[in-house]
Amino acid sequence: MHTELADSLARIADTCAPPDMPSLSAFVAARHDDWNNPNQEDDWEVSEYGGSDAPSNDDQGGGQGAAEQSEMLDDRFRNFNGTSVATVCAVDCGMATLGSTEHGVVVACRAASTTDAPSGWSGAILARTGPVHLRMCDKARILHRLGADLGEPTFYVTLDGATPVAKSSVAATPKLLADRLRAYVERLMQVHALSQLPFGAVLMLDGAMTTRSRDTPTAWWTSLANTAAERGVSLVAVSKQSEMVISDRPVAFWLEEGQGPGYRCLTHRLRAEQPARADRILGNLYAVRWGASGPALRVDVLAAGGRDDRGALDAVAASVSVRGGMPEPLVRAHALAYIPRPAFQMLQADAVVTCGLDPRQDEQLGPGVYGFSAGRFK
C-alpha cells in the first residue's frame, strides 16, 4: 500500500548517498534554532524553465458550468454553513539542517499526513529520511532525479547527452538544494495521501497551489489535479504567510467586514487586476478565516467529488476543529512533521556515522568578540 512512496524515498536517498570517499567530510553541526519548515509561499517569479504551458483554470477538474462558476466566484463574505462532513487529510513536511560540510549540507526530512474520518477514525502516515548528505557536486544528478519523479526530468537540469547539468540559479546554494529536497518529499507524501483517500474527501495542503513556480513542475500540479478529480477528492491549500495584495489590501485583511468564521472568493478580483497571476493558481483563490477571529489566510480551492468550492470549504469547517486559527489536521500534520530537539541531536550524531563525517568545533563567536552586532555569526 505504501510501497511506492517508500521506493521513491529510497531511490532519492540512494541518489544522494555519496560514493565511497577517501576521507571523511568535515562537518560543522547546526543548532536546532536553525530549524525551519518553509512553506511553499507565493512564488511570483515565473520560472525561466517553466516547461509546458501552465494549464488554465478552465482545464481544471470540477466541470462546473459558467453560470455556476459566476455564482461561486461571488466575492461576498460568507460564513461557513456546512452540515455535511467529510474525511479530511492534511499533509506537511519539515526539514532540519543538521549541519554544513565542505561539500554541501546535511539535512533530514519528516513528512506526515494525518486523516480524520467522520466515523471518528484517525490515521497517520509518516516518512522519515534520516540524515541525507546533499553534496553540491551531486546537484545535477539529484535535481535530475527529482525532476523525473515529479514528471519533468529537465525541470531543473538540461541534458548534455545523457549527463544532466543544473540550470543556472537552480539550487545555487546548499540550502536551496535542500529546499528542493524538502519540497520533493512533501510532494511525494501529498500524492501518496491522495491515493489513500475515499471519494468526497478533502486533502489539505500546506502552501499555495501555484503553477509555473521554481520548485515544482507544472506537470506535477496537472497530474495532482487530475488524480484528485478522478478520485473525487477536493484540494484545499492553506498559506500561512501569504503576502498577496489584491486591490491594495493584503489577503489577511480581506475579511474585516465579516464576523466569525467565513470566507470570500478573490479569484474574480485577482483575475481583473493581475490576470497572469490568477492563471497560475490551481483552482480558485479565497481569503478564509477558520476561527472566530483573527486574520484571514490565503486558501486555494480545487473542488471535486460533486462539491463546489463552497461545499469543500464548508465540509472542512464542519469536519475539523480549529487550533490557533488553523484547521487542526494541518496543525497535527505540522506537529508530526516537526523534528524536536532530542531527535535533532540524535540525527546529528547518526549523520556522522551514516554520512561519513568528521565533526568540527563551531566557534560560537558572539557578543563577547564582535560586540552586540555579533559580527557575521548569530
Partner 1 sequence: MLIVLSVHGQDVDLAYHPDDVRVDVGDTFTILDLPNRTDGVVAQVIELAALEHDGVKGETIQRILEERMDETHIVYDRERGMGLLRGIKVAHAKVRREVRDGQWQPWTGYVPSRHAAVERVETEDLIRLVAPMPRVPLDPFLRVGHVPFPVGGHELDKITIVAAAKGRGKSHWMKVVTERFARKGVGCIVFDINGEYTGLPAAHVLRWGENFVPRLAQTGPGLLLSVIRSLCPPQPGSPTESLLESRLKTLFRANRDQGDVDLTITWLRGQSWGGAGDLVQRAIDSRLRQIEDAGLFWTSSAPRDAYTDLWVLHEETVKGRPLVFDLSLLESRMQATLVNALIRHIEAICERETRSGRGAYPVCVFEEAHEFLSASAVEKIVGRCRHLGLSQFYISLNPSGIPPFVLRACDNLILLGLTNAEDIRALARTTSLDAESLESLAVRVPAHHALLVGNLTGGYPVLAAVDDLPAGVPRSGVTRSVWDRFDA
Among 320, 344, 352, 355, binds partner 1 (CB under 8 A): 344
What amino acid is encoded at 270 in this protein?
Answer: L
Q: Please name the residues in contact with 133: beta carbons below 8 A apart, sequence gap of 6 or more.
A: 16, 17, 18, 25, 101, 103, 104, 105, 106, 351, 355, 357
Scanning the structure block, which residue is given the C-alpha cell 529510497?
10
Distance CA 141, CA 28 (A): 25
Q: How many residues at the interface with partner 1, by CB under 8 A? A: 36
Helix (H, G, I), strand (E, B) or coil at 306: coil
**CB 129 to partner 1: min, Å:** 6
Angle at 344 between CA 242 and CA 203, to 5 degrees: 40
**CB 6 to partner 1: min, Å:** 5
Indicate the residue among 301 and 336 with the shorter CB distance to partner 1: 336
Indicate the residue among 44 and 338 with the shorter CB distance to partner 1: 338
**CB 326 to partner 1: min, Å:** 15
Binding of residue 345 to partner 1 (CB under 8 A):
yes
Instruction: Put residue 341 in one of left, alpha, beta given phi > 0 → left and psi -120 to 50 → alpha.
Output: alpha
Please give the helix or strand (H or E) that residue 206 lies within, else none. Answer: strand 202-206
Q: Which of residues 107-166 bind partner 1 (CB under 8 A)?
A: 108, 114, 121-131
Binding of residue 364 to partner 1 (CB under 8 A):
no
Helix (H, G, I), strand (E, B) or coil at 375: coil
Binding mask 294-333 for partner 1 (x = CB under 8 A): --------------------------------------x-
Adjacent-strand bridge partners of 302: 235
Among 51, 240, 354, 356, binds partner 1 (CB under 8 A): 354
Distance CA 59, CA 45 (A): 22
Indicate the residue among 122 and 169 with the shorter CB distance to partner 1: 122
Q: Which of residues 18-37 bind partner 1 (CB under 8 A)?
A: 32
Scanning the structure block, which residue is given the C-alpha cell 515565473?
46
Establish how many alpha carbons lie within 13 A of residue 180's alpha carbon, considering only the half-sphere containing its beta carbon: 32
**CB 142 to partner 1: min, Å:** 16
**CB 286 to partner 1: min, Å:** 28
Indicate the residue among 245 and 343 with the shorter CB distance to partner 1: 343
Largest CA distance in the chain: 68
Among 343, 356, 359, 360, binds partner 1 (CB under 8 A): 343
For binding to partner 1 (CB under 8 A), which residues are involved? 2, 5-6, 9-10, 13, 32, 108, 114, 121-131, 192, 332, 335-336, 338, 340-347, 349-350, 354
